[in-house]
């Protein structure tokens, strides 16, 4: 594994191996079992394997399983912002490795990797899709086929921050489609959807619905980070 020479957050040169200064590293929270078998939310107490959280029982997601490497917090937020707004690529192998570790069962069964797309205008303005980069890193390390543009955002949606869980769901409903030319690729496949952060799960849900409408057999989700609590909590 190639370690970045500069801190992924402060951009300062690091004295030793590692991606972050030790005090920032110590604040990163890696998600680990016990987790909800469906959405990957952390349980605070030990549970039977295969246990599903209350939110997933009350309102089962369209995707089969979601997993994330990190709890979305102060340090992981900086990592995501570095990817998204500064276009830092030097940490991709490392971040992709964390994601592959967190979702190794999902990755082992995946037949096609698809990132959550940006709307065309946002893609043009930013010049890249950070979820596409993460998806490419996962595809490269696993050998699973990648389709960076199987999904298309057909509606430009306002930035989700500040919206309630219901607001987010409404915001992205019907915002995604599988491109005509990708339908053959998606049909009958177990698709692994990749995004940077899972908050309420509304985006993952809307993408899953679009993939299933195009004939995907099943959809799993891997993100770099996710909110620690149940899906209904909006941040
Ligand atoms: Zn759950």
35 CA to centre of ligand 1 in angstroms: 8
114 CA to centre of ligand 1 in angstroms: 22
Output the pTM of the full model: 0.91
- Is 31 within the bounds of a domain? no
> Which residue, among 111, 122, 123, has the nearest Cα to 147 in the 3D structure?
111
- Is 2 within the bounds of a domain? no
39 CA to centre of ligand 1 in angstroms: 4
For the chain (length 235 residues), average pLDDT per consecutive 10? 72 80 89 93 88 92 97 93 87 93 97 94 88 97 96 82 77 90 97 95 95 98 89 48
173 CA to centre of ligand 1 in angstroms: 20
212 CA to centre of ligand 1 in angstroms: 20
> Which residue, among 200, 193, 132, 133, has the nearest Cα to 162 in the 3D structure?
200
- Is 106 within the bounds of a domain? yes
What are the tokens at 84? Answer: 């998204």
Task: List the domain range (segments joined by +) for residue 129.
Answer: 60-226
- Is 149 within the bounds of a domain? yes
- Is 4 within the bounds of a domain? no
- Is 25 within the bounds of a domain? no
- Is 232 within the bounds of a domain? no
Whole-number pLDDT of residue 119: 86
CATH number reported for the structural domain that contains residue 211 in this entry = 3.40.50.2020
| Ion ligand 1, residues whose Cβ is below 5 A away | 36, 38-39, 41, 53, 56
Give kind and range of the element (H or E) at residue 204: helix 202-213
Q: How many domains does the chain have?
A: 1
- Is 27 within the bounds of a domain? no
Neighbours of 156 (CB within 10 A): 11
> Which residue, among 82, 71, 72, has the nearest Cα to 4 in the 3D structure?
82
For 46, 111, 151, 180, the CA distances from 210, given in Å and listed in that order, are 35, 17, 8, 12
């Amino acid at each position: 594994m190639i370690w970045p020479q500069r801190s992924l957050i402060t951009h300062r040169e690091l004295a030793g191996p590692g991606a972050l200064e030790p005090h920032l590293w110590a604040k990163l929270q890696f998600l680990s079992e016990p987790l909800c078998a469906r959405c990957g939310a952390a349980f605070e107490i030990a549970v039977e394997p295969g246990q599903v959280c209350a939110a997933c029982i009350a309102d089962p997601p369209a995707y089969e399983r979601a997993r994330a490497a990190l709890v979305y917090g102060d340090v992981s937020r900086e990592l995501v912002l570095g990817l998204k707004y500064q276009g830092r690529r030097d940490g991709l192998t490392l971040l992709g490795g964390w994601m592959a570790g967190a979702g190794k069962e999902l990755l082992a069964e995946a037949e096609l990797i698809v990132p959550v797309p940006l709307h065309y205008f946002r893609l043009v303005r930013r010049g890249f899709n950070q979820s596409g980069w993460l998806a490419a890193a996962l595809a490269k390390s696993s050998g699973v086929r990648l389709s960076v543009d199987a999904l298309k955002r057909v509606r430009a949606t306002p930035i989700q921050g500040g919206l309630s869980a219901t607001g987010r769901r409404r915001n992205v409903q019907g915002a995604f489609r599988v491109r005509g030319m990708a339908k053959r690729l998606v049909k009958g496949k177990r698709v692994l959807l990749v995004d940077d952060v899972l908050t309420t799960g509304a985006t993952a849900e809307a993408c899953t619905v679009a993939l299933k409408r195009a004939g995907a057999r099943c959809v799993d989700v891997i993100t770099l980070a996710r909110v620690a609590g149940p899906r209904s909590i909006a941040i």
